């Protein structure tokens, strides 16, 4: 490498322009071949740098969201759940509810695709520039219990505050004790009109006191906050898991039949 090239590489590193550094020789050659103006050379490099940063920041946001698995809306078979309002789900994917600081409740029996849709909506939000975090309800309660001390609870609350959208998966599968219920109430109060939530649950609202240590008042106050600005998506249908495993069994039987 010549001295000017070494100097340029060092400046581009200082300016944190890795795509400029990686691509300038190629783009310079291409521009030279078609006699393009200097401005075009610079514009092309700047565009590549911006594109690269966007891809990287989406990947970073998806990683920080800590989704347990990769699920996208594009892979969701809406035909398998004809009673689900597809338009409503696709509208939610546009993310206006996050701007409104509103919440989404995905309600349905096990296996109907609640977690899939929640993750799909979460990944879409990451692509739209939002900061997202996934928790299971029990994982979130554990995080509070582990943060028991005041100082650590403040740190956890600051962490929560930094997000635009928080997903709480599987609310209602495991009943909470008094302490867990109070932590969750604190969490919902903190997020009220500040941070959007997507909650997945198998329980109708009338049964929520069961989750919250049989405390009607606590469950009522919590539901009040959650449902003040809410989009409710009911998913009625058969378990997709069960359907696919039945299909596989049938196929196997067909294969082994004489
Ligand atoms: P739930 O959270 O309601 O119990 P999941 O979202 O975990 O259900 O779905 C169970 C499995 O079935 C997952 O692997 C999910 O990707 C898949 N699944 C569920 N519904 C659909 C669907 N309509 N199209 C494609 N895959 C689906
Ligand atoms: Mg689930």
* Chosen domain end from 64, 87, 115: 64
Ligand 1 proximal residues by C-beta, below 6 Å: 71, 76-77, 80-81, 108, 110-116, 240-241
CATH number at residue 112: 3.40.50.300
Q: 104 is written with which tokens?
A: 């989404």
Question: Which pLDDT belongs to residue 238?
Answer: 84
Q: 44 and 83: one domain?
A: no
* Ligand positioned closest to the Cα atom of 170: 2
Q: 78-90: buried (b, 16+ CB within 10 Å) or exposed (e) per residue?
A: eeebeebeeeebe
Last residue of a domain, one of 64, 91, 110: 64
Which of 143, 185, 135 is CA-nearest to residue 165? 135
Looking at the CA of 234, name the nearest ligand. 1
What residue owns the CA closest to ligand 1's atom 1? 111
Instruction: Walk along the chain (258 residues) and give the pLDDT tens digit of each residue.
Output: 678 899 999 999 999 999 999 999 999 999 999 999 999 999 999 999 999 999 999 999 999 999 999 999 999 999 999 999 999 999 999 999 999 999 999 999 999 999 999 999 999 999 999 999 999 999 999 999 999 877 899 999 999 999 999 999 999 888 889 999 999 999 999 999 999 999 999 999 999 998 888 889 999 999 999 999 999 999 998 888 887 877 777 777 776 655
How big is the chain, counted in residues? 258
Same structural domain, 127 and 146: yes
What b-and-e string marks burial along 211-240, b requiring 16 or more CB atoms within 10 Å of the CB? Answer: bbbebeebbeebbebbeeeebebebebeeb
Looking at the structure of the chain, the number of domains it has is 2
User: Do 121 and 105 fall within a single domain?
Assistant: yes
pLDDT score at 3:
87
Give the distance (Å) from ligand 1 centre to CA of residue 111: 6
Residue span of the structural domain in which 57 resides: 4-64
Ligand number, closest to the Cα atom of 240 = 1
Instruction: Check whether residue 32 and residue 84 sit in a common domain.
Output: no
Residues 36 and 100 in one domain: no
Q: pTM of the prediction?
A: 0.89
Protein residue closest via CA to atom 5 of ligand 1: 113
Based on the fold, state whether residues 18 and 130 are members of the same structural domain.
no
What pLDDT was estimated at residue 237?
84
Q: Whose CA is nearest to atom 25 of ligand 1?
A: 76
Query: Among the atoms of ligand 1, which is closest to the Cα of residue 81?
Result: 23
- 249 lies in some domain: no
Q: Are residues 138 and 12 in the same domain?
A: no
Q: Check: CB of residue 200 under 8 Å from CB of residue 118.
A: yes
In this prediction, residue 256 carries a pLDDT of 60
């Amino acid at each position: 490498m010549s001295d000017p090239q070494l100097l340029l590489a060092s400046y581009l590193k200082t300016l944190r322009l890795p795509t400029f550094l990686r691509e300038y020789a190629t783009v310079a050659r291409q521009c030279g071949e078609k006699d393009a103006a200097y401005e075009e050379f610079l514009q092309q490099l700047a565009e590549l740098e911006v594109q690269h940063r966007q891809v990287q920041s989406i990947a970073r946001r998806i990683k920080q969201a800590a989704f347990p698995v990769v699920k996208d809306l594009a892979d969701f078979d809406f035909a398998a759940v004809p009673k689900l309002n597809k338009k409503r789900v696709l509208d939610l994917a546009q993310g206006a509810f996050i701007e409104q600081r509103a919440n989404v409740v995905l309600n349905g029996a096990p296996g109907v695709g609640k977690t899939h849709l929640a993750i799909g909506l979460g990944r879409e939000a990451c692509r739209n520039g939002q900061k997202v975090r996934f928790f299971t309800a029990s994982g979130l309660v554990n995080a509070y219990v582990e943060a028991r001390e005041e100082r650590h609870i403040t740190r956890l609350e600051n962490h929560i505050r930094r997000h635009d959208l928080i997903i709480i998966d599987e609310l209602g599968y495991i009943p909470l004790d008094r302490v867990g219920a109070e932590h969750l109430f604190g969490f919902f109060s903190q997020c009220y009109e500040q941070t959007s939530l997507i909650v997945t649950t198998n329980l109708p609202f009338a049964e929520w006191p069961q989750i919250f240590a049989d405390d009607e008042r606590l469950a009522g106050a919590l539901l009040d906050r959650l449902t003040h600005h809410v989009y409710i998506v009911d998913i009625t249908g058969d378990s997709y898991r069960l359907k696919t495993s039945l299909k596989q069994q049938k196929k196997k039987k067909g294969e082994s039949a004489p």
